[in-house]
Structure 1
């Protein structure tokens, strides 16, 4: 499945941890919509991230607490954390996808590898800049939740 290219250049991203988006962030209103839409996805449950700064929000799965394999979680060996949303001062998302799909999203300009990746499945997806990008980013998160459950990718743009 191919991804439509993200228009424009990539945002600046920190080179020191924690990895964060420095430019082209979502507006606070758009970030709020992102948070609301992500936690409205079926089975998504909000919590505190086990591996990200306190301003981040973990996306847990109500129907699965343990990982199928360590490369499907941002917090291997702990409660399954397939995604976390960074705070309004950052607006990017960390998630895990099959490595080939993550490379596809990277090539299309939507993502980049996580700076502290362990398995080649950890990626940063940039915060959406408008409503059209919001739809795409939410679809990517939904695809990620399916991956955490061991389901096939859903065809996100």
Structure 2
């Protein structure tokens, strides 16, 4: 079980399902970039063109043979996460269903209407960056088989 604080304020406007993205309360670009730098520094991850999102999303993959994450820990192929372009700043992650439920309940994101991922809202300020980063780390742990 996560100990997620409730996300303050109303939820941002979301549209989709294709693309599924955040329309309001856009994360400041500097926070998006700091999050991305942390994401791409995770061990064994590599960046490649997305297999599921808009062409200019930045996606992360884990090579075959690294970790033992279940098939549900990947969006397509070995892609486990992507962050949307600067005009949006949200990201799609894979998490086990109970954790997706907690993310939704605390107001940090919504499930994708057609895929088995969760849209996590972009961080609006530094405290939110830390919460989103914790969710990214859980998604990574799921992909490498360290989270059931």
Q: 1:55 to 1:66 in 2, by over 3 A?
A: farther
Q: Structure 1-normalised TM-score?
A: 0.85
Query: Which whole-Å CA distance do the structure 2 matches of 1:67 and 1:56 have between them?
Result: 26
The alignment of Structure 1 onto Structure 2 pairs a total of residues equal to 147
Q: Is the 8 A contact 2:83 2:90 kept in 1?
A: yes
What is the CA-CA distance between 1:107 and the residue it aligns to?
0.2
Q: Structure 2-normalised TM-score?
A: 0.90
Deviation track 1:92-141 (CA, whole Å, cap 9, x = no partner) reads 11011000110001000011101212xxx411000000111111111111
What is the CA-CA distance between 1:88 and the residue it aligns to?
0.6
What is the CA-CA distance between 1:27 and the residue it aligns to?
1.2
In terms of mean alpha carbon deviation, does 5-14 or 41-50 score higher? 41-50
Residue number in structure 2 paired with 1:37: 38
Q: CA RMSD in A?
A: 1.9
Residue number in structure 2 paired with 1:126: 121
What is the CA-CA distance between 1:152 and the residue it aligns to?
2.3
Where does the alignment leave 5 or more consecutive residues of structure 1 unmatched? none
Where does the alignment leave 5 or more consecutive residues of structure 2 unmatched? none
The runs of at least 4 aligned residues of structure 1 exceeding 6 Å deviation read: none
Q: 1:67 to 1:81 in 2, by over 3 A?
A: farther
Choose between structure 1 and 2 for higher RCO, CA contacts under 8 A separated by at least 6 residues.
Answer: 2
Q: Is the 8 A contact 1:43 1:63 kept in 2?
A: no
1:1-157 alignment to 2 at 5 Å?
Answer: 1=1, 2-62=3-63, 64=65, 68-75=69-76, 78=77, 80-117=78-115, 121-152=116-147
Q: Is the 8 A contact 2:52 2:75 kept in 1?
A: yes
